[in-house]
């Protein structure tokens, strides 16, 4: 009779192989990063060697994942929703809000390996606010073609045709607040005109 522990242990090898392949690493690369022999790594991935903490901890560190992801630990009874990053048009969106509806906040990362492609500006319901953390962002907004640098912000009704992408060679990071029903940001303090 197979125990639930045997099932968990049997699934670790394929999970380890998939992680290594996703990162385009060879067994030799992984061995150099973890100081675990190539033969031991190979036997772990094929299921011929039973994993233990002495092997799994350096692997989790090398892959940059929590240990429970390596072993496929079952989800706890935690009722909270843990938002996961998602990718759209080559940009990574990291949700910063966890509620549905209302104002949504995201950190958006536009990597350097994404070639900015000019596309037709889009329109949709809502209101958006962008704040550039690093890099340069090209924002096409209606008839305007703007360059936003770190520390600059823009806000607009998303029913105005708009499009944005990385401008320049460095990665862009920005904060985005989006009100799907047209909610606007409320600024409590405004600078005085001098």
Span 109-138, pLDDT tens digits = 998 876 666 778 888 888 899 999 999 999
- What's the whole-number average pLDDT of the chain? 83
Please state the separation of Cα 187 from the chain's center in Å: 28
What mean pLDDT comes out for the span 92-96?
Answer: 87
Which residue would you say has higher pLDDT here, 183 or 30?
30
Model confidence band, residue 94 (pLDDT cutoffs 50, 70, 90)? confident
From the list 73, 77, 94, the residue with the least C-alpha distance to 85 is 94
Which residue would you say has higher pLDDT here, 141 or 114?
141
This prediction has a pTM of 0.53
Give Rg (Cα) of the chain.
23
């Amino acid at each position: 009779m197979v125990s639930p522990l045997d099932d968990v242990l049997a699934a670790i090898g394929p999970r380890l192989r998939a992680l290594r392949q996703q990162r385009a690493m060879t067994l030799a690369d992984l061995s150099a990063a973890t100081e675990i022999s190539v033969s031991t790594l190979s036997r772990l991935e094929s299921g011929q060697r039973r994993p233990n903490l002495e092997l799994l901890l350096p692997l989790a560190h090398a892959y940059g994942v929590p240990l429970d992801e390596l072993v496929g630990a079952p989800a706890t009874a935690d009722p909270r929703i843990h938002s996961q990053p998602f990718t759209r048009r080559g940009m990574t969106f990291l949700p910063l809000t966890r509620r549905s509806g209302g104002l949504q906040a995201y950190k958006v990362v536009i990597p350097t390996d994404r070639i900015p492609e000019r596309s037709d500006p889009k329109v949709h319901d809502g209101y958006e606010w962008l704040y550039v953390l690093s890099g340069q962002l090209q924002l096409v907004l209606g008839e305007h073609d703007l360059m936003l640098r770190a520390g600059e912000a823009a806000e607009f009704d998303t029913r105005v045709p708009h499009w944005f992408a990385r401008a320049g060679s460095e990665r862009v990071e920005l904060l985005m607040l989006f009100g799907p029903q047209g909610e606007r940001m409320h600024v409590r303090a405004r600078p005085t005109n001098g």
